[in-house]
């Protein structure tokens, strides 16, 4: 089954000289291409990866794990990989699980398979409460946005069919994990989560992406909002408009209640101006949503054409 497919593994890495060798040594033999993307490391990560037979692509400066994934993806497509796996270089994931991850894709049962740390309670990793509930909240948000139930949208251990990689269009350099889910869900790509047992904390060093939880949350929230703007703009701006309408309604009700109670608007005329202002913002938000929805439809058509162009070129 596996031997009939060309398998590539992408490993984004930043200053992972203490971990990269052990990860590479555990990559299964059926993997045809191992791609290490050195994202501006200042240590011996790239040299060690080359010593262990990996194809190394290096960024001169640190550009972010999202940009590193994009570099690896482009090379995997160029190498004609039928299935591509990305796995972190920090040793938290078990490379032996690659076989389980790619099986649904090789069997034609899914186009995108992600390891899930939270779909099976028995597999919950040991991690800090802030990180644990932050992951759960992010999965809840993505599930609500897409109308599908997901348990882990932030895991860095995933497998993609060639067709799925061709359909994927990402723009975030900081990370790619949540944006990938939104992109695929909006394009009706078959998604599957497989529970895996992972190490919740690094054995050596600390996370380069989520070391600052507030920064990570801010950056991922930006990516999510931009993705909604590009693919579901009316939903985004209708939600904003609803908030403005609620503020207008509350201000208006307050003013009318005051008027019926005392027979005049003074001294709360300000509430009428506030109500009118937020009502105007609500209408403008809906108009912006309608206009951007037209552009979103155009974008979908353009991405469809881009998919066929990339498919023919690779």
Bigger pLDDT: 221 vs 32: 32
Please give the helix or strand (H or E) that residue 253 lies within, else none.
helix 233-262
Supply the range of the domain harboring residue 269: 233-313
> What are the pLDDT digits (tens) for 200-258?
555 555 555 555 667 777 777 887 888 888 888 998 899 999 999 999 999 999 999 99
Q: In what order do the strands lie in the sheet with 33-39?
A: 55-59, 33-39, 7-13, 83-86, 158-161, 112-116, 191-195
User: What CA–CA distance (Å, rounded) separates 233 from 184?
Assistant: 17
Q: Where is the domain boundary, 176, 206, 231?
A: 231
Other C-beta atoms closer than 10 Å to the C-beta of 149 total: 12
Residues 246 and 98 in one domain: no
Q: Where is the domain boundary, 210, 231, 252?
A: 231
> What are the pLDDT digits (tens) for 65-102?
889 999 999 999 999 999 999 999 988 899 999 999 99
Residues 306 and 212 in one domain: no
CA distances (Å), 282 to each of 89, 176, 233, 275, 276, in order? 47, 32, 15, 11, 10
Other C-beta atoms closer than 10 Å to the C-beta of 311 total: 13
Residues 71 and 106 in one domain: yes
Residues 217 and 241 in one domain: no
Burial of residue 237 (number of CB atoms within 10 Å: 0-12, 13-18, 19+): buried
Q: Where is the domain boundary, 208, 231, 254?
A: 231
The answer to which of 34-38, 252-256, 294-298 has the lowest mean pLDDT is 294-298
Residues 224 and 85 in one domain: yes
- The answer to whether 13 touches 89, Cβ cutoff 8 Å, is yes
pLDDT at 204: 56
Tokens of 39: 């994202």
Residues 225 and 239 in one domain: no
Residues 83 and 174 in one domain: yes
Bigger pLDDT: 246 vs 313: 246
Bigger pLDDT: 58 vs 228: 58
Please, what is the average pLDDT of the chain? 88
Mean of the pLDDT values across residues 60-64?
Answer: 90
User: What CA–CA distance (Å, rounded) separates 133 from 128?
Assistant: 9
pLDDT at 1: 44
Residues 139 and 288 in one domain: no
Bigger pLDDT: 301 vs 43: 43
Structural domains counted in the chain: 2
pLDDT at 2: 46
Residues 33 and 119 in one domain: yes
CB within 8 A of 196, min separation 6: which ones? Answer: 93, 94, 97, 100, 101, 115, 116, 117, 123, 157
Residues 24 and 98 in one domain: yes
Mean of the pLDDT values across residues 257-280?
Answer: 93
Percent of the chain clearing pLDDT 90 (strictly above): 59
CATH number, domain of 42, equals 3.90.550.10
φ, ψ (nearest 5 deg) of residue 59: -90, 135
Residues 216 and 199 in one domain: yes
Mean of the pLDDT values across residues 17-46?
Answer: 95
Percent of the chain clearing pLDDT 70 (strictly above): 93
pLDDT at 3: 53
Q: pLDDT grade, residue 313 (50/70/90)?
A: confident
Per DSSP, 108 falls in state T
Residues 150 and 10 in one domain: yes
User: What CA–CA distance (Å, rounded) separates 214 from 204?
Assistant: 22
Indicate if the pLDDT at residue 121 is higher than 70: yes
Task: Render the burial of 1-16: b for 16+ CB within 10 Å, e for the rest.
Answer: eeeebbbbbbbbbbbb
> Which pTM does this prediction carry?
0.78
The answer to which of 5-14, 171-180, 231-240, 267-276 has the lowest mean pLDDT is 171-180
> Helices 233-262 and 213-231, interaxial angle, to 10°?
100
Bridge-based pairing state of the strands 83-86 and 112-116: unpaired
User: What CA–CA distance (Å, rounded) separates 91 from 113?
Assistant: 20
CA dihedral (45, 47, 52, 58) positive or negative = positive
pLDDT at 205: 55
pLDDT at 126: 75
Bigger pLDDT: 310 vs 289: 289
């Amino acid at each position: 089954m596996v031997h009939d497919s060309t398998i590539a593994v992408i490993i984004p890495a930043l200053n992972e000289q203490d971990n990269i060798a052990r990860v590479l040594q555990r990559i299964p033999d059926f993997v045809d291409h191992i791609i290490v993307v050195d994202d501006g490391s200042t240590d011996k990560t790239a040299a060690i990866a080359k010593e262990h037979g990996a194809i190394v692509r290096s960024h001169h400066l640190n550009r972010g794990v999202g940009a590193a994934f994009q570099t690896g993806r482009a090379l995997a497509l160029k190498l004609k990989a039928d299935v591509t796996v990305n796995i972190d270089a920090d040793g938290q994931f078990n490379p032996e699980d690659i076989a389980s991850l790619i099986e649904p894709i090789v069997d034609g049962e899914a186009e995108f398979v992600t390891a899930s740390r939270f779909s099976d309670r028995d597999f919950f990793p040991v991690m800090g409460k802030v990180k644990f509930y932050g992951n759960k909240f992010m999965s809840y948000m993505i599930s609500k946005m897409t109308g599908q139930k997901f348990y882990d949208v932030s895991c860095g251990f995933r497998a993609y069919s060639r067709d799925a990689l061709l359909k994927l269009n990402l723009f975030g350099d900081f990370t790619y994990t949540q944006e990938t889910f939104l992109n695929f869900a909006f394009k009706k790509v078959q998604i599957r989560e497989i529970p895996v047992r992972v190490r919740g904390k690094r054995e050596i060093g600390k996370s380069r992406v989520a070391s600052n939880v507030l920064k990570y949350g801010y950056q991922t929230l930006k990516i999510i909002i931009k993705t909604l703007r590009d693919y579901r703009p009316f939903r985004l701006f209708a939600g904003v408009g609803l908030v403005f309408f609620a503020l207008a309604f509350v201000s208006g009700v307050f003013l009318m209640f005051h008027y019926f109670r005392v027979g005049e608007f003074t001294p709360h005329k300000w509430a009428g101006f506030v109500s009118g202002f937020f009502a105007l913002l609500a209408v403008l938000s809906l108009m912006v949503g309608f206009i951007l929805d037209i552009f979103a439809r155009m974008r979908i058509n353009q991405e469809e054409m881009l998919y066929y162009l990339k498919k023919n070129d690779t």
